Amino acid sequence: MSVLLLTHPDCLAHDMGEGHPECPDRLRAVLRALEAEEFADLLRDRPEEAAREHLIRVHPPDYVEAILGIRPAPGEMVALDADTVMNHASARAALLAAGAAVRAVDEVCGGQARRAFCATRPPGHHAERRRPMGFCLFSNAVVAARHAQAAHGLARVAICDFDVHHGNGSQDCAQDDPSILFCSSHQMPLYPGTGAAEERGAGNIFNAPLPPGADGAAFRAAWRDALLPALDAFAPELLVISAGFDAHARDPLAQLRVTEADFAWLTDRLCEVAERHARGRVVSLLEGGYDLPALASSAAAHVRSLMRA
């Protein structure tokens, strides 16, 4: 069984304005990289929109309706905070991004694909239960985890986040639920200001903050020495990856010095954990990454590892 790539052209219509780092060209860069001949064996499909029931497992119904009710006219925008903006296409794009997470879980848990990568936007790991922020509207990774439990009967799901920014939204949505493990490496101090090692939730939160300037060796050590042992001890039945590539040395929004080889190394290690505990099942969701060439090459390295493992 191969790796499934889920994406949708309507995710390109979500636009937060000229000069915004979370732009449609990010997704275009990733998809161009995955058109190379070495990725010819990817299974490719389009997701459908997530249903309300998928979203309200994570977010209160009034929050979901409020976000989906924001439908500006073409050419107009609504700012939710200083960083997060919606245009006429944003609500549909957010539903497609969450829907891709749901579809990926169904395909991987149903045995139609071994692993899946969702190349969609907007990202999700900053969206808290009741608050959009950091370019994110819905907590896609937690939507995936809760769907795996509700629809496929899984008891333990792990979310592994290597975006350079702490996934405060994923943590907020999962921190009271010991059936979901959240592991994160990230730069600290940095937006959003959360992610200290002392933040443990219900014993299910494991944060490994890295100082500005930390390189690939420090990144690998954080996972090898702290996060991967916690992940193994949890023995997840599914791994959900929040695959942000803004820890790359060329990224303009942070100061870590991770490379494509480091992302590939970690993907290999996560797939090994999945082989030990989860029948190899991995669902990966695109999060950050704002230098377009670095994003493209890093995403390609990640998917290459998903296909190889």
Q: Does pTM top 0.95 for this prediction? A: yes
Tokens 């769907």 sit at which residue?
Answer: 147
Q: What are the tens digits of pLDDT across the range 287-306? A: 999 999 999 999 999 999 99
Q: What are the tens digits of pLDDT across the range 139-158? A: 999 999 999 999 999 999 99
Phi-psi category of 215—alpha, beta or left, where left has phi over 0 and alpha has psi -120 to 50?
beta
Which CA distances in Å does 279 have to 6, 112, 114, 116? 21, 13, 9, 14
Contact 192, 128 (CB under 8 A): no
Q: What is the pLDDT of residue 100?
A: 99
Q: How far apart are CA 181 and CA 231, in angstroms?
A: 8
Q: What are the tens digits of pLDDT across the range 202-253? A: 999 999 999 999 999 999 999 999 999 999 999 999 999 999 999 999 999 9
- Separation of first and last alpha carbons in the chain: 12
Task: Give yes or no for a cis peptide into 47 (omega within 30° of 0).
Answer: no
Contact 239, 162 (CB under 8 A): no
| Beta carbons within 8 Å of 189's beta carbon, 6+ residues apart | 212
Tell me the mean pLDDT in the region 160-169.
Answer: 99
Q: How far apart are CA 133 and CA 130, in angstroms?
A: 10
**Beta carbons within 10 angstroms of residue 179's beta carbon:** 16
> From the candidates 54, 126, 248, 277, which is the catalytic residue?
126
Amino acid at 157: V
Exposure b/e, 5-14, CB count within 10 A at least 16 = b: bbbbeebbeb
Q: What is the pLDDT of residue 220?
A: 99
Tell me the mean pLDDT in the region 109-123.
Answer: 98
Averaged pLDDT score across all residues of the chain: 98
What domains lie within the chain, and their CATH numbers? 3-308 (3.40.800.20)
- 248 flagged as catalytic: no
Is a pLDDT exceeding 90 seen at residue 309?
A: no
Tell me the mean pLDDT in the region 13-19.
Answer: 97
Coil, strand, or helix at residue 185?
A: strand
Tell me the mean pLDDT in the region 193-205.
Answer: 98
Exposure b/e, 281-290, CB count within 10 A at least 16 = b: bbbbbbbbbb
pLDDT tier for residue 122 given thresholds of 50, 70 and 90? very high
Is a pLDDT exceeding 80 seen at residue 189?
A: yes
Task: Give yes or no for a cis peptide into 236 (omega within 30° of 0).
Answer: no
The torsion angles phi and psi of 78, rounded to 5 degrees, stand at -125, 120
Contact 166, 186 (CB under 8 A): yes
pLDDT tier for residue 1 given thresholds of 50, 70 and 90? low
The torsion angles phi and psi of 83, rounded to 5 degrees, stand at -115, -15
